[in-house]
Structures are given as structure tokens and as C-alpha cells.
Amino acid sequence: MDATKRPIHIPPQMGLYAEKHRLHQIMQEMLQGLLIHKPEEPLDFLIKQLKQDNYDVPKICILGPPASGKTTIAMWLCKQLGTARISPETLLTSAWSNLTYKVQEYQDTEQKIPDALWAELIVERLQIEDCIHSGWIMEAIPQSRELARELLAMGIIPKHVEVYHTTFDWPTEDYIRQRLKVPHGISEVETARRILKYHQDYPGILQSFGSCMKLINADQPCADVFAQVFTHVQAPPRTLAPFSPRILLCGPPGSGKSMQASLLSRKYGIINVCCGQLLKEAVADETKLGELIKPYFDSGWPVADNIVVKMLSERLNRLDCHIRGWVLHGFPRDEDQAKLMQRANINPNRVFFLHITPESILERLCYRMLDPVTGERYHTLYQPAASKEASERLLIHPRDLEEAVKLKVDAYLRIAEGLETVFEDAIFINGDQDPQTVFEYIESYIVNPRPTTLGFPLQMA
């Protein structure tokens, strides 16, 4: 960025660097910490925050009514993720804080423990090294809206006692069965009271966390519940960077890439980048790259990959593509081109492969016709000419002849598998259906946020 020139423009590469290294996430966490804690020495506070480097550690709350399986799921998660498990019981059985004794005094006199005291105890526990570096799982915390608000105000934004059940998890060892005891507080009356108390407090807790809650049905085998929870926790977090779609459409000839790119461009204002069209424009405008491309056009040979990538890099790094996003189609066509594109720092954040059968491709392409007088395009099956006169003068392009189409399809199928392995997070869509249906599938993956996990609570329903 040249600060001597006005107006000052931030190069697109800076935005990509910030997104890659999650600078927006770090800046938001640091600003949030300043506003919540209001330290007297802000710079020292920020340096300490950066040294902790714990923005990606799990921070999870597991909530739910009595007997919903919170403890079991929390213990399993702690084993898998290597995090600290925090519950009301573990907080009170540890001697690491003087506040534990204050809480015990309230319990001995059967008084309600103040939410502010619970919050202070939790904050002290979270400052211990294991929570800072490995993350934490809070089980059955918070239990009220007031405590939830206290924790949020302190900057806590929301993972082993074995438990057996005489029906679902009865121990096989005799010595364990002989020493089992009925836990305190699980009588029918006491359980009913706890369930009623939970449903009274639940709406307030839900309001505190809002849409961050993840609801999971716990009325199923515990292993199935854990699988859902673990999948949610392991899902990649959503970036906090301003989202500019960088979409890549891949697929065989006739799969509808051009049409879907056009639909996305028209609806969302995304820059439609067709590789073939860029090459033609460069030659027509007689640019420096166009002069290099023209000999390839004249000889009928494919343009060299390094020239194509350089041209794409120049176009995709313009400010309009950075601000509005882009949708690219027509490149890459094989694994080597995809890797060359990655080395040039052309990194799409949404990759779609449109799958379609060879029979459907032949039907789509081999029946395309062109009116040489009006320039209108028609399809013998889907969009025939309106008049007999226009129909009689229609011509077919040599590239749409059956033999030519079969050669292109066979060439794509040979390299498709290698191309798909380059983009591990690619989304595969059945392109052999109505174009509007395909567009809606693509649209849903673009407009819906990616799943988030860190810092959000799980709700055991």
C-alpha cells in the first residue's frame, strides 16, 4: 500500500492474508477483551492476550434437564479433546480457591448461592493454565439467566466420576456392583422438582445466548448423541473476515457452469470470470498478454498454463473482485492447472463440482443450434425456433458435433478424479436437473454461514 497516493487503496492481497491468518478473529477477541476488562494498561493487556494464543481452544457449555446425559457427554468430550471439565461439583470439590469456602458456607446454611459468587469462582477456575491452553467444557453451567448474564459480562462467552444406570449401563464386574450406592437427590419428587426448575430457567438462558445455541435431541442412544455433539464441535469455525465469495465452478462440458455463474452474477453482483472469454478479450484488446495468446489461437493449440494463470491473477486481484467477490469457470481443467493456480495464490473459498451423465451432456450440447441471421441460440428439444423459416436456417457449431463432444467428455473424465483431490472441501452437486434447482443448491452453500463451534454452548434437549 502506497501511503503517498490518494485515494489510498488496500491491495486485495492484504485482505486474503488477513483471512488466511484469521487476523479479524484476533482483532475482535482483543477488542472484546479491552471493552470487558477495561485494563489500566491496555498495551500490556493486549500483549498478554497475544502470548496466550488460545483463540482456537474449545470453549463449550453443555446444558439440559436432569438425566439428559450432560455428564456422560462432557466426560467423553474431555477425553477426546483433552480439555478441562468444569461442573458445579468439580468447582466445589477443589481447594484451589478461597471462594470455595464461601460457597460451602451458603450450602451448609441451605441458602441460595449468589450468582455473582458463582461467576467469580468460575472466572478464577478459567484462569488456571489448563483452561487457558487446552480449553474447557462447562457442564450444567449456567443454571440461570442471571448467571449467564454475569458470565457474559465477565467475558466468558460460551469439556471423570463414572456414572452407571441399572438399566442402560450396568457394570459387569461383581465388585463394582457390590459397592454401588444410590446418589443423593434422584428420588421421583426431587427429580420432578429439578426438572420444573430447569424449565423455569431455560427460556432466560436461551435468550442470553440467542441463536448461538445448538439444540440436540438427547432422547436417543448416548453414542448417537455424542456423535452429533462431536461432529458439531469438530466442524471448522466460521471466519469473522468480511465475506467476499470466491467461487470456483468445475464440471464437464455441458454441466451448466456458465449458466450458474451468470445466475450468481446477476443476483448477487459477483464478478463473472469466464477464462475463455478473458483470453478472447485479451487478444481483441491487443494487450501484452493478448500478444502472447494470439499465436496459440492462430495455431489452434491450448494456451500455456502459466500465461492463463497470470491473466487470471491480474483479473482476480482487481479491487472489484476483492470487494464484490468472483465466480470463476473454465479453469482449471486438470490437476496440474489446479496446483499452479494455488501456487499463484488464487484460493477459492467455495468449490463446486457439477456432476452429469455423458448421455445428458450429449443431449444438451449436440442439439444446440445457432441462427446466423439473428445470432439467437436455440435447442432442438428444449428451446426450438418459433418459426419454420428460422428453423430451416439454423446451423450447428462444429464443436457441438457428437464426435467432438464425446472427445471432450472422455478427456474430462480421465482427469476429473485428480482434479477433485486437489480441492478437499469441494461440494458435489447433481447437475443433471433443472438449472434453477441446481442454482438453489449452490446458493444455499454460499449464503448460509459455515458451522461454528468455539465459544458457543450446546443445548441437550
Question: Is the model's pLDDT at 455 over the cut of 60?
Answer: no
Would you give the DSSP letter of residue 285? Answer: T
Max intra-chain CA distance, the chain = 98
pLDDT single digits (tens) 96-151: 677 777 777 777 777 777 878 877 887 778 777 777 777 888 887 777 777 777 77
CA-atom Rg of the chain in angstroms:
30
7: preceding bond cis by omega (within 30 degrees): yes
139: left (phi over 0), alpha (psi -120 to 50) or beta: beta
Question: Look-up: residue for cell 484469521?
Answer: 22
**Residue 37 CB coordination number (10 Å):** 13
β-pairing, 350-355 vs 246-250, is parallel
Question: Is the model's pLDDT at 353 over the cut of 90?
Answer: yes
pLDDT single digits (tens) 53-81: 566 678 888 877 776 778 888 888 888 88
What structural domains and CATH numbers belong to the chain?
Answer: 12-55 (1.20.890), 56-234 (3.40.50.300), 246-366+401-447 (3.40.50.300)
Q: C-alpha distances in angstroms, 175 versus 161, 164, 180, 341?
A: 17, 14, 9, 64
pTM of the model: 0.58
Look over the chain and give the mean of its residue pLDDT values, rounded to a whole number: 77
Q: How confident is the model at residue 264 (pLDDT cuts 50, 70, 90)?
A: very high
Got the DSSP string for 170-196?
Answer: --S-HHHHHH--PPTT-SHHHHHHHHH
Question: Between these two residues, 191 and 279, which has the higher pLDDT value?
Answer: 279
Rounded Cα gap, residues 342 and 319, in angstroms = 20
Q: C-alpha distances in angstroms, 43 versus 37, 156, 442, 456?
A: 13, 21, 44, 28
Rounded Cα gap, residues 231 and 226, in angstroms = 8
pLDDT single digits (tens) 202-226: 666 666 666 566 777 777 777 877 7
Q: How confident is the model at residue 326 (pLDDT cuts 50, 70, 90)?
A: very high
